[in-house]
């Protein structure tokens, strides 16, 4: 019987954040603020895609811990 699996995964993107500031330190502080908007032109970092095997192994050992299988 086929089931639906939700595979936990992640990848990296790279972008430039534009910010007006009077110094590098101020600019960095501004972009590190949780309320600073993410850049709108990110690019995928080659070969950065990966499956989160830790989560999958935990799900295999303790089914439905993360609700990954229907």
CB neighbours of 58 closer than 8 A, spacing ≥ 6?
A: 65, 66
pLDDT value for 21: 98
What pLDDT, on a 0 to 100 scale, did the predictor assign at position 25?
Answer: 98
Contact criterion met (CB below 8 Å) for 50 and 10: yes
Question: Cα–Cα distance between 51 and 43 in angstroms, integer?
Answer: 19
Give the C-alpha separation, 56 to 69, whole Å: 11
Total-model pTM? 0.73
Confidence class of residue 8 from pLDDT cuts 50, 70 and 90?
A: very high
Domain boundaries, the chain: 1-13+41-70
Confidence of residue 27 (pLDDT cuts 50, 70, 90): very high
């Amino acid at each position: 019987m086929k089931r639906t699996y939700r595979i936990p995964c992640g990848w990296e993107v790279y972008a430039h954040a534009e910010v007006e500031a009077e110094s590098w330190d101020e600019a960095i502080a501004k972009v590190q603020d949780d309320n600073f908007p993410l850049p709108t032109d990110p690019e995928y970092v080659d070969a950065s895609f990966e499956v989160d095997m830790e989560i999958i192994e935990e799900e295999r050992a303790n089914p439905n811990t993360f609700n990954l299988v229907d």
